[in-house]
Structure 1
Amino acid sequence: MRYPIVYFHMLSVGFLLILGHSMLRSFLPILAKELDPTGVLVGLTISSYFFARTFIELPSGFISDRIGRRTPIIVGLCLGVVGSLICTFSASIYILIIGLTLWGLGAALFFTNNMALIIDLFEPRVRGRAMGTFQGIEFIGSFAGAPIGGFLAEWLGYTSVFYVAGASIAMGLFIAITSRGLRKAGTWTTTRSTHISVRESLNGLRNRGLLVTCITSLSRTLIAQGVISTVLPIYLHDFLNMSVGIIGMIVSMRTGGLCLATATSGYISDKIGRKPVIFAGLFIESLCIYLYTLVGTFELLILLAFADGLGVGMVSATLIALMSEQVAPEYVGGSVGLYRTFMDIGAVTGPVLIVMVQMAFGIYSCFFFGAALLLVNIPILTIAKERKKTQ
């Protein structure tokens, strides 16, 4: 299987964008808690990165079906640079929220259209491995970003992390602007979808298979942002007395498992089908989230985080491939936009909802709730249909 050059250009850009944002993962809830000691705005701060995305993902998918993927990708990267720079002035939690909102808006434009571009480039029988390889290498940026951000925050302060993250996104912007492959492939979809109206696009997205994949996307992101990105760092810091640097290492190991599983699960799902891989991944995710409440040593947490990442990686690319099989090719941009809109709704509501659960029932209840919600998605996904494999 040959990969076009634009695939590697976008892989590099995605790596740099994820690297930049992942630098915040080990300390963002802690920084938000320092800026707002009451804790009321901590969940909103984590959600702000995804808040604006909720309103832009679906329209950007429709727009890129008509004008191509390139322009939204470049605009998104520009917004990411601006948002990260605003965060450097976050002496107030409100400035931090504004910066993260712009940053998230830019990420929405990039990832919606980047995902649609990958679906455009590869036919269904090899799409799983193309998406899996792409996301697996992208997530190496997340693997590296968490510990880099954690140690930079300890040594140089939080502000330095935002500067480094902004520089990383700026490098990605340069690659996208100068990519001839993106200039060519990023306008290809206009020849297919220019005459499709918004109403036709919406009608093309009305099917149960697409809806259930979107619901699973929402559930997983709700837990990822609410439990893993918000409650888990606070639990490790406040209950197990672990430093920001150590938390960054644990988060990084989880991402290591995610990278490994994402890079391989797409290929496996091309061979044996999407659903068996997704169901196994959801079960592993659920079990690991429950086990976080029973493990208290650094060594065991490292192993558990890696296993958790394996479960996450098994689902990530495979669920996208399953989603793409639910709609006709001319509706790909809109379907990706809808899928990511559900994901963003989960990301926005997750931190707020899980913090409310924590305040009402205690921190352990957050992990129990997360494990149960993931398991519920297994029977729901049986509704989605898979395309028959072709040789």
Structure 2
Amino acid sequence: MKLNIRALTLSYLPVLIARIGSGANTFLISYLAPGSNIAVGFILASYPFVEAASSFVAGHITDRVGRRVTMILGYSWILTFTALVYLTIVITGSPTLTGVINGLMGFGAALILVSSLTMITDLTELGHRGLGMGVFDFINILGYALGYMTGAVLYQITGNASSFIALLALMVTLYAVVVKYIIETKPRVSGKVYLNPLKGVSRRVIPTLPLWFSITTILGAAIYAGRAMGRVEGVLPIHVGALILGAVTIVGLGSVFFGHLSDRFGRWRLITIGLLGVVMGLVTLATLLIININPIITVLAASPFIFMASALVPTILALTGDESLVTMRGTSMGLYSLVLGVGMGLGNILSGYFYTKMGLGGIAVLALVVFLTALVLYAVLRAVIK
């Protein structure tokens, strides 16, 4: 199949816009949500947990009604619940109700993530799927970081919940513009669509699930760390946003580079490079943060290893696309959305506890322990499943 550059390029735009809104909402929730540090961790976790719980439904909808309809439904859902989050914080100030509303927003995120991943899989084949997923990962996390920065700017300007009003106006405008660029990519092939997602993907993919879970848990911890860094003396919200944007740029460029290399040299070799980068990066972060080195300097010191670590995500996603049934690509990507949601939610919750007990260094230690555990499981499953 010849690579359709124009269609592939246009398919990234809706993802970018959706993630800008998601990242801004996450920042504002982390700063404006009522409750203690641990309560805010639960509020943040509600979003990815619901995203995870609804991922198979989102995948099944994607396979049944198509990618475009699913993504537009996701946009509409997120806009509605962004408005409800604002009203909940302003009117009730209830941590519980804020968590419920923020959690329900996660269904919209599942619809967008699964449909967009499936679109990229539709538009790429074995020889360039790694590159395609690398660009997707770059656009996905870049959008999230730009959104995080947008949320930081809005909060810096207003200092209160009116930031949500400005965000909602921005999201409505961007969504209205981008809807016309959402294309339908569902293949015209016949075949069964099973409810069980594991029937749509090869057993060879299973060993990567612990790795994916650990990476998403670390992502959840990183999101909470943004709130924690805001408590460091002299660090303003705008500094946190800039730091997150810089780190994401490093990871995104690495995703494109290593995704392309996985097309040329194979998925498993690039996964190994990513594993080494994650371990060395987390050891560096944990060591420097525990001895109270400034978090900005710490992230800069770990940046070469963060670049190496970026090989993992696009390679795992490309491998999943390689090993999926054509008729069940949406459901297979739903499996990874499930792991993404659970991992991010758990990372948010555990980070709140570890930060309370150990400070910023505790969050890095948590991430290292989670990843080393996943690495052991990965090695065992690779040995058992041939």
Q: How does 1:353-364 map to 2 (within 5 A)?
A: 353-359=350-356, 364=361
Deviation at 1:269, TM superposition (A): 1.0
Pick the aligned partner of 2:168 from 160, 166, 180: 166
Q: How far apart, in 2, do the equivalents of 1:308 and 1:105 lie?
A: 33
Q: How far apart, in 2, do the equivalents of 1:163 and 1:311 lie?
A: 39
Contact 1:74 1:176 in 2 (8 A): no
Say if 2:226 is the partner of 1:228: no
Pick the aligned partner of 2:208 from 205, 213, 227: 213
With structure 2 as the length reference, what TM-score do the two structures score?
Answer: 0.85
Q: How far apart, in 1, do the equivalents of 2:302 and 2:312 lie?
A: 16
Q: How far apart, in 1, do the equivalents of 2:19 and 2:137 lie?
A: 10
Which residue number corresponds to residue 203 of structure 1?
199
Closer/same/farther in 2, CA of residues 279 and 31 from structure 1, 3 Å limit: farther
Deviation per residue, 1:336-356 (Å, 9 max, x gap) = 111111111112222223333
Deviation at 1:261, TM superposition (A): 0.9
**Aligned-residue RMSD, C-alpha:** 2.8
Which residue number corresponds to residue 19 of structure 2?
18
Q: How far apart, in 1, do the equivalents of 2:188 and 2:158 lie?
A: 47
Closer/same/farther in 2, CA of residues 209 and 163 from structure 1, 3 Å limit: farther
Deviation at 1:62, TM superposition (A): 2.2
Q: Which moved more, 1:260-269 or 1:95-104?
A: 95-104
Closer/same/farther in 2, CA of residues 308 and 143 from structure 1, 3 Å limit: farther
Say if 2:324 is the partner of 1:327: yes
Deviation at 1:15, TM superposition (A): 0.8
Deviation per residue, 1:299-345 (Å, 9 max, x gap) = 52451464465245322211101222333323322211111111111
Which residue number corresponds to residue 389 of structure 1?
none
Give SS of 2:206's match: helix
Q: How far apart, in 2, do the equivalents of 1:332 and 1:344 lie?
A: 18
Closer/same/farther in 2, CA of residues 224 and 63 from structure 1, 3 Å limit: same
Give SS of 1:238's match: coil
Give SS of 1:88's match: helix
Q: How far apart, in 1, do the equivalents of 2:295 and 2:339 lie?
A: 34
Deviation at 1:79, TM superposition (A): 0.7
Contact 1:255 1:306 in 2 (8 A): no
Q: How does 1:132-211 map to 2 (within 5 A)?
A: 132-171=134-173, 173-175=175-177, 177-179=179-181, 182-183=183-184, 185=185, 188-189=186-187, 191-193=189-191, 195-198=192-195, 202-205=198-201, 207-211=202-206
Q: How does 1:1-391 map to 2 (within 5 A)?
A: 2-26=3-27, 28-32=29-33, 35-36=34-35, 38-89=36-87, 90-91=89-90, 92=93, 93-171=95-173, 173-175=175-177, 177-179=179-181, 182-183=183-184, 185=185, 188-189=186-187, 191-193=189-191, 195-198=192-195, 202-205=198-201, 207-225=202-220, 227-230=221-224, 232-293=225-286, 294-295=288-289, 296-297=293-294, 300-304=297-301, 306-307=303-304, 309-359=306-356, 364-378=361-375, 380-381=377-378, 383=381
Letter in 2 for 1:314: A
Q: How far apart, in 2, do the equivalents of 1:6 and 1:119 lie?
A: 12
Deviation per residue, 1:23-53 (Å, 9 max, x gap) = 2455543333xx21x3341111111221221
Q: How far apart, in 1, do the equivalents of 2:208 and 2:277 lie?
A: 18
Percent identity for Structure 1 against Structure 2: 20
Q: Which moved more, 1:339-348 or 1:96-105?
A: 96-105
Q: Any unmatched runs of 5+ in structure 1?
A: 386-391
Contact 1:25 1:146 in 2 (8 A): yes
Q: Any unmatched runs of 5+ in structure 2?
A: none
Give SS of 1:135's match: helix
Contact 2:142 2:245 in 1 (8 A): no
Q: How far apart, in 2, do the equivalents of 1:224 and 1:308 lie?
A: 16
Closer/same/farther in 2, CA of residues 138 and 15 from structure 1, 3 Å limit: same
With structure 1 as the length reference, what TM-score do the two structures score?
Answer: 0.84
Q: Which moved more, 1:77-86 or 1:17-26?
A: 17-26
Q: How far apart, in 2, do the equivalents of 1:170 and 1:139 lie?
A: 21
Give SS of 1:159's match: coil
Contact 1:43 1:352 in 2 (8 A): yes
Q: How far apart, in 2, do the equivalents of 1:158 and 1:210 lie?
A: 45
Letter in 2 for 1:372: V
Q: How far apart, in 2, do the equivalents of 1:247 and 1:126 lie?
A: 35
Q: How far apart, in 2, do the equivalents of 1:138 and 1:196 lie?
A: 27
Contact 2:281 2:303 in 1 (8 A): no
Contact 2:15 2:140 in 1 (8 A): yes
Deviation per residue, 1:124-162 (Å, 9 max, x gap) = 121111121233234332343333321321112343443
Contact 1:26 1:244 in 2 (8 A): no
Contact 1:9 1:175 in 2 (8 A): no
